[in-house]
Every structure is written in C-alpha cells, then in structure tokens.
A and B are shown apart, each in its own frame.
Chain A
Amino acid sequence: MFGLDKKDTSLLILVAILTMLAPFILNPFPASSGLAQFNAGYPDLMQRFVIFGIFAIGFNILFGLTGYLSFGHAAFIGVGSYAAMWMFKLVGMNVLPALALSMVMSGLFAVVIGYISLRRSGIYFSILTLAFAMMSYALAYSVLATDMDGPDQQGLLQKGLTGGETGLQLTLQDPRVFGEQATADGNLPVPSLFGLEMRSSTELVMGDWVFTFSTGYYFCAVVMLLAFYLSIRIFRSPFGMMLRAIKSNQQRINYTGLNAKPYMLAAFVISGVYAGLAGGLMAAMDPLAGPERMFWTASGEVVLMTILGGVGTLIGPVLGAGLIKYMENILSKINSDILHTWFAFLPDGLEDFVVGMIYPFIGKGWHLTLGLIFMAVVIFLPGGLVEAGQRISRVFKGRKAPEGAKKSTTEPAE
C-alpha cells in the first residue's frame, strides 16, 4: 500500500492509529485521581509531541542516514517560526500559506548553510552548523530586534524583524491584507485553516475521564503522518541507499566516480525543511516566535531525541521527542505539595522521608532526572528506546534475534 512494503505499511498504519487515538492513549488516568498528574492528553503537549516528532524525523534523515551530526538544526526551526509569523502578520491567519513560507525560507537557509558546512565533515561540520545557528540566535536576539522604524514611528518593525527576547508577536496593528486585523470583539485573530481555528477543541466526558480533541493537534498529526510517510519513502528509496552508502564509506563513493555532495546537500535541505515545517507549526499552534528556539541547547535537544529514540530507525526519533517533551512538561510540574498528597497515607515521618527522597528529582529538579535518563539510556540501551522495544519483543517471542540484524538497526552514527 502507498508504495510501501508490508512491514512499513503496518508501521505507518500503527503510527496513524496511535496518533489518531492519542487523546485517549495519553489520558489513561481519571481526572479526579492523584495519577491525573501524569496525563499528557492535553492539546498543547500533544501538539508538541507531534511537532517535535516532525523535527526529529527530519533530523534523522540527515543524521541517521548520512551520519553527519548537525549541531545547528534549531536555526531552521527559528527561521520557520519567524517566516510563519510574518505571514500571519502581513497576509492573514490561514496556516497553509504560513507553513508554505516556513518551508521555503528554511529550505533556502538550509541551502546556504548546507552548501558551506558540507565542505567539511566530522566534528568540523558539527561546529560549522553550530556556529551558524548561534549567529542566527545572537542576531535574532539583538540586532534584528532593534527598532527599525525610527524613534517616532510605531509601525510593523518597531521591534525589528524578530521581536528579540519577547519574541515576534501578532499585534492589532498588523496589516493582514487577506484577513481581519482584529476579531469582532477587538482581539487578535487566531491561526486557522479556512476558518477552522487551530485552538478550538472539543471535550468528551466519559465518566471520570475527560478527553480533549484539539483541531490543532489533529492538523499537526496529519502533517506528521505525511512527514513520516515521506521519510519512509526516503529511507527505502535509491536516494536513501545512496545516503547510507555515503555514511558507510564516502571515499568509495568518490572512487566510483559519483559526486556525493549533491546527495548530501539534498539530505541537509530536506531535513532543514522538516525543521522549518516544525517551526511553522509551532507558530501556527501558538502564534509567537522567540529566539530561544535557536539556541544551541535546542539543537542539542533534537540530537538527544534522536539518539534516545534510536538513530537511523524510523520510529525512534518520534519516541525520543515524546519522552523528552513529556519529562519537560509533566515532571517539572510536580511540586512538593502534590507529593505530600500522594504519600499522605504513610505515617508522618515516613511520608516526609519518602517525599524528601523523591523531591530532588521532580519539579525544579527535573533536569537531574533528564540527565540520569540520558546516561542510563546510552549506557544500557545503545540503540535507544527502539532497542528496548526490540528486547522486550524478543523476550515475548522467546528467541534471540540474529546479531547482525540488531546491529544494522542500532548502529549509531556520527
């Protein structure tokens, strides 16, 4: 089906089912129970899951297939977000033109950065991409955020091209040529798809469970499925084979008379466009673009997502993205108060002891847990979460997979 073999088709269908049912799957605990804290089925986080999933899928096309480790991919997210925001400001609130411009702009950026950076390989390539991203970050934060209108005017550019620290925002004065400047009640219009507002949602109450179905989420989910499908096609195409060949031995490719450069650049640009698309979607779900999304830690985050999930595997990066975003949004919100209610059944002294033991790892200590998980995954699961899944399924199937098969899926690259 869809030009995929049977295994890939079933993977795609599985992913499709999981994303479509995500509002149920991510909300397993009834709203009134103490465990509701762990529910992730609210629109913002679900949107983040799929958006960062797209980002990681795109990153994996470059890193997983060619082994080139870009440390500046967050720059494309930023470019995509800013491009989408300018579309919202100048043209109108429809998300499709905004996403189109995000992809075009980030693609152009990727051509330039890729063309220069791909002249080097290994860590030199990584540092070049990092340098470009950090330059974009620094400029977006400062020079590009200064008043370009002149002191007496309050026009479009009064906070520059990027809005600096506060981020680029919609204002009531934006022209929005093909849309309304303000809603009937004097507020900012929201991004929409031909009138279907991204932030609208419907709730389904079933007993003690509340499931939220957000338009924005389903829009992102469909985009992610398309992106995922495309990445499967790339992985299985002759082009994908070529990229793998470059990864395993670039010299040999050169000796056969093939020029690897155009292939590399194509992969770089494709993954840059994926990142730009993710950035555009971020702006479409939440119309504000800030420069922090271009900081090196954001670039590092997608590397971590990919490795955590499983480099070079199809589904791994999406899982990694989900895990990191889940920790960031759920763990950081647990405070000592909540801990005390959970363990209230214990005798007082013991309760304080248990809370005291757990407290450093949650709430403001969530970074600590994140660090520990990174270490644990790399030490014990070199192939990331996908390897964990394989091991579990092996246990169930009761046989050991051939060594070679395991190696081909889990061999991380650099």
Chain B
Amino acid sequence: MDAIILQVLNGLDKGSAYALIALGLTLIFGTLGVVNFAHGALFMIGAFCAVTLSRILTLSHEVIDETRTDFLGNPLKVDVPYVYDIFGQATGDAIIDWAVPLSILFAIPVMILIGVVMERGLIKHFYKRPHADQILVTFGLAIVLQEIVKYYYGANPIPTPAPEAFTGSFDFGALIGMEANNIIYPYWRLVYFGFAAIVIGAVFAFLQFTTFGMVVRAGMADRETVGLLGINIDRRFTIMFGIAAAVAGLAGVMYTPINSPNYHMGMDFLVLSFVVVVVGGMGSLPGAVLAGFLLGILESFASMREVIDIIPGINQIIIYLVAIIILLTRPRGLMGRKGVMED
C-alpha cells in the first residue's frame, strides 16, 4: 500500500514534467500547425536560465588567502561573490540560495522573447511547408541550440540545488497516523507538482476566460474564418508560441533541483513528450495533460521490483507499449480530434 502511494506520487511528479512539455508542444501544434522538434531544447534552455542566474548571482572577484594553498602549492584564491559586497554575506547567501525560484522571474521574459524570435524568424516561414520540413528545420535548430549551450556550459551536469528551506521531505505517513518515515516525499518534488498544476491551470484559464484566449481557441478550430472576421490571428499565434516556450522554460527551471541540468536533457525528453502528445491526441490540450500524468504513473509502477520480477524489462518499454496499445484501440489517441495530422 505504502509503495503504491509513493509510486502514485512519483508518477504525478514525473507526469508534471511530461504534461508541461506536452502542453506547450500541443499548444504550438494546435495554434500554428507546426511540429516543433525544438521544444525539448526550450525546456533545456529554461533549465539553463536557472544555471545562468545562479552564475550571475555568484559572479565573484578573487581574494588571495595567504593561509591556504591550492593544488599546485600557490596561495589559494578565494572567490567572493559581488552580492556579498552589495548585500552583506547573510543576505547574499540567502539570495544565492533562492536562485532557482528567482530564476522564474528571469526565465519568463527570456523564454517569451526566445519563443517570439523563433516564431517570427524561422517557424513563420514553415506554416505552409510539409510537416517533414518542419521537423527537419526545428530538429536542426534543436541541435544548434544544444551545441551552443554545450559550448558555454560544458557537457557535464551542473548542480543547481533547491533553496535550503525545501531540502528534506514531507512525511505523509505521520500525517495520516501511519508509521513515521515510511511514506515520505521530497518537498521540492511536491513544489514541482504544485507549480505544474498552477501553470497548467493558468494556461487553461487564460484560453478559457480571456478574450484573447477565446480568439486563439477560435483560431485553432478554424483559422480561416477567424482571419476573415478581420482578426489578426497571426500576431496572437505568435504570442501563443511565446507562451508555449515560457511553459517549457518554466518546466525546465523548476526541474533543475530534481536533476542537475545538462545540455542534452532536452533530447532526453523530446521523444517521450512526443509520445505523450500523440497518446493524448494531437491538438488536444486536456489530452496532453491527461496522457502526461497517465504515462508518468504507469512508468512509475512498471519500475517496481515486484512488476519487473514478473515481466523482465517492462520498465524499459512500458511507455512505448502503452502508446502502441492506445493508438491501436483509440485511433486518435485519448482525446484527439478527427483529421488532425492524419494526411
């Protein structure tokens, strides 16, 4: 029982990341009709926004400490961050400690800007082109983005811990009166889940309750008619691209304390998030979210020892197996619309 609760939590947590990436992917596909293979790269860039901000916050000048020596026997140069000089050591440490949450503020404008530039500069020219061309050009862009990040940050993962306050775990077991220390879950993963829920809710609310969102939804359903009504749908779609990029970026920012970011993390998620989108049904936002959580939970269950003992290797293939079964039984995924990407 305990194990199952834990795996459900794990599934929701993993599902949050899948759902956030898939949501942005579907948003772009639904509005612009573009298959964006660079979406994983946007997730990765979001994560590196957090890295960059913590690098900026820890920008330092060197002070030579004569009492200690470095590995070559020379006097040790100690790095003193500039924030110490400005705010004093205690406040400075607190700011550095909170680098990841602070990066949200930093990442939103950066990601929207990247998204808008990408759409105006590149994607715009590919609306009328076949999906294969879109895939190729965005894949090329993904490689370029990831190589640029690798050039500046190296290939190794870079630790970006959560604030001190969020280390440690929450004890569910004690909460519901069961044995302590048995059903515990890390605070930051709970934060991630909550954050994902808020972002997903915000995107849906935005589309549902604002005029802008209404127009966008109308445009997703029938672009030509909306255009004929004299509404500049293109500009709104550009903004939606920016928002989708920001969603992927935020997913990346908040993911950094869970796993240290590296330059290829986007590619690691790319194929999975495509599977999620397709299982959910191309062009369906609720479908993407649902499929994200569903696959996350199934993946968690499949990695339990009891399950692997019965079917060896199931943890390796579960997502693909489920995708095949769903696509064969439900032709357009869980909630797909007819006629989307079937030609």
Contacts and interface: CB of A to CB of B under 8 A. Distances in A.
- Is any CB of A less than 8 Å from a CB of B in the complex? yes
Interface in A9-68: none
Interface in B136-182: 136-137, 139-144, 146-148, 151
Interface stretch (A116-124, A236-244, A261-269, A281-289): A116-124
B72 interface: no
Contacts of A307: 132-133, 136
A370 interface: yes
Nearest to A411: B130
Given A131-B324, A365-B151, A412 B133 contact: yes
Interface string A124-163: 1001101110110011011100100000000000000000
Contacts, number: 129
A119 B146 CA distance: 36
Interface residues of B, number: 42
Contacts of B332: 124
Given A123-B278, A123-B282, A365-B147, A382 B129 contact: yes
B147 A303 contact: no
Nearest to A143: B313
Given A368-B143, A375-B144, A414 B271 contact: no
B132 A412 contact: yes
B75 interface: no
Nearest to A72: B320
B132 A374 contact: no
Interface string A295-339: 010001001100110010000000000000000000000000000
A367 interface: yes
Contacts of B148: 368
Contact of A412 (B130, B140, B341, B343): B130
Given A122-B343, A128-B324, A131-B320, A371 B133 contact: no
B278 A132 contact: no
A69 interface: yes
Contact of A143 (B125, B135, B316, B324): B316
Interface residues of A, number: 44
A319 B151 CA distance: 30
A379 B136 CA distance: 10
Nearest to A367: B147
B140 A130 contact: no
Interface class of chain B by DSSP: helix
B236 interface: no
A368 B328 contact: no
Given A122-B343, A128-B327, A131-B323, A379 B333 contact: no
Contact of A303 (B132, B142, B324): B132
A374 B342 contact: no
A368 B320 CA distance: 30
B324 A116 contact: yes
A401 interface: no
B132 A414 contact: yes
Given A138-B317, A307-B133, A371 B141 contact: yes
Contacts of A379: 122, 125, 137
B101 to A, nearest CB: 32
B317 A116 contact: no
A356 interface: no
B35 interface: yes
A197 to B, nearest CB: 38
B230 interface: no
Contacts of A120: 327-328, 331
A375 B140 contact: yes
B301 interface: no
Nearest to A130: B271
B275 A123 contact: no
Contact of A124 (B144, B321, B342): B342
B121 to A, nearest CB: 11
A378 interface: yes
B312 A143 contact: yes
B129 to A, nearest CB: 7
Contacts of A141: 316
Contacts of B142: 371
19 contacts: A123-B341, A123-B342, A124-B341, A127-B327, A128-B328, A130-B271, A131-B275, A131-B324, A143-B313, A303-B132, A303-B135, A308-B136, A311-B132, A371-B139, A371-B140, A378-B136, A379-B122, A382-B129, A382-B133
Q: Which 4 A-B pairs have the closest CB atoms?
A: A374-B140, A371-B143, A143-B313, A138-B316
Given A69-B132, A124-B332, A371-B139, 17 more contacts: A123-B278, A124-B327, A134-B320, A138-B316, A138-B317, A138-B320, A139-B313, A143-B312, A296-B271, A304-B139, A307-B133, A360-B151, A368-B147, A371-B143, A371-B144, A374-B136, A382-B129
